[in-house]
Amino acid sequence: MTQNRPLTLLGIETSCDETAAAVVRRAPDGQGTILANVIFSQIKEHAPFGGVVPEIAARAHVEHLDGLIARAMDDAHLGWDDLDGIAVTSGPGLIGGVIVGLMTAKGIAMARGLPLIAVNHLEGHALTARLTDNVAFPYLLLLVSGGHSQLLVVEGVGQYRRLGTTIDDAVGEAFDKVAKLMDLGFPGGPAVEKMASQGDATRFTLPRPLIGKPGCDFSFSGLKTAVRQLAMAQETLDHQTKADIAAAFQQAASDVIADRVAHAIEMAAPYIGKAQGRLVVAGGVAANQTLKARLTETAAAHNYELIVPPPRLCTDNGAMIAWAGAEKLALGQVSELNVSPLARWPLDPSKPARGN
């Protein structure tokens, strides 16, 4: 299928604790424009629990999704007849939330006679840089979020080659657990980063799991345990001590990720080539400035360009889902109305399910 006209899609995202809807337009030359992008964050609902509660998240999606869709359409100044399709996250994620978004999208698609495009949430992150920076295939993707830590070669829409993943916990989960351990607040990533900015990363020494080892898999469980043991060993866990532990943890995590990325760049050479490549970072942890600084150094040392979408498009949002849907629709890839929600859905199905 050759796209010879603009495609305008509504995107719906409900895989975790953000309820989101967006309208995106893809031009025939591949340029993208965000016409509307609205997000309802459930931080206040989950903060008392120090993490996301699936039942609360699903209920919030039910309560807010219809209103967000109406607002997105209004912000885009469009009617239903102006849409070319409905894109929706069909997994992976908290299954209750995924079902809410998918059933809503199916209802709209059926009622309006529009194509339904089921989108892998991870593919939304993977393709965001093509929306924001018009990045050409292939490129290396570092996906770091609360649920995922992966390195993949993005060879095309629907074509992903996983080089490494976490063998235990995702880095975003580690940030959340460290924040909860020291009562820094939720979400953990921004809370740890804020506290770390007041600390001395050299006061405490923490392990760097797998650093220097072959391959580019991740491991954060041991680092998490080391932080807990360090915190418990302190006579007084005062503000400065918390800040120093947070800084040490953040530096250790950034060092590990930078090392794994360096290995991935070497592993990606057969697929990307030895000329200047592009490293795209996506997921909520991509907003961390210490990590960004380390990755800037790593990319430059390997003649790579570092591309990080704006923070609002690194965390979960509807625009990335609408864009992934537009990329798929431009290739004629649409879904049946009986498509099922999926709690797990690897981008590279040839790799065993391991970690996140």
Q: Are residues 258 and 157 in the same domain?
A: yes
| HEC per residue, the chain | CCCCCCEEEEEEECCCCEEEEEEEEECCCCCEEEEEEEEEECHHHHHHHCCCCHHHHHHHHHHHHHHHHHHHHHHCCCCHHHCCEEEEEEECCCHHHHHHHHHHHHHHHHHHCCCEEEEEHHHHHHHHHHHHCCCCCCEEEEEECCCCEEEEEEEECCEEEEEEEECCCCHHHHHHHHHHHCCCCCCHHHHHHHHHCCCCCCCCCCCCCCCCCCCCCECCHHHHHHHHHHHHHCCCCCHHHHHHHHHHHHHHHHHHHHHHHHHHHHHHHHHHCCCCEEEEEECHHHHCHHHHHHHHHHHHHCCEEEECCCHHHHCCCHHHHHHHHHHHHHCCCCECCCCCCCCCCCCCCCCCCCCC
Let me know whether 19 and 84 are in one domain. yes
The reply to whether 345 falls in a domain is no
229 within some domain: yes
Q: Do 121 and 251 fall within a single domain?
A: no
Q: Which domain holds residue 216?
A: 139-308
Residue 340 inside a domain? The answer is no
Same domain, 303 and 317: no
Q: Is residue 155 located within the same domain as residue 289?
A: yes
In a domain, 347, yes or no: no
Q: What integer pLDDT is reported at residue 1 of this predicted model?
A: 47
What is the full per-residue pLDDT of the chain (356 aa) written as tens digits? Answer: 456 799 999 999 999 889 999 999 999 999 999 999 999 987 788 877 777 888 888 998 999 999 999 999 999 999 999 999 999 999 999 999 999 999 999 999 999 999 999 999 999 999 999 999 999 999 999 999 878 899 999 999 999 999 999 999 999 999 999 999 999 998 899 999 999 999 999 999 999 999 999 999 999 999 999 999 999 999 999 999 999 999 999 999 999 999 999 999 999 999 997 667 999 999 989 999 999 999 999 999 999 999 999 999 999 999 999 999 999 999 999 999 999 999 999 999 887 655 55
Do 18 and 57 fall into the same domain? Answer: yes
Q: What's the domain count of the chain?
A: 2
Clarify whether residues 144 and 279 are in a common domain.
yes
Residue 125 lies in a domain: yes
Q: Is residue 251 part of a domain?
A: yes
Residue 246 lies in a domain: yes
- Tell me if 82 is assigned to some domain: yes
Looking at the fold, whether 195 and 280 belong to one and the same domain comes out as yes
pLDDT computed for residue 120 by the predictor? 96
Q: Are residues 223 and 284 in the same domain?
A: yes
Do 319 and 263 belong to one domain?
no
pLDDT computed for residue 232 by the predictor: 95
Residues 71 and 156 in one domain: no
CATH number of the domain residue 23 falls in: 3.30.420.40
The verdict on 182 and 240 lying in the same domain is yes
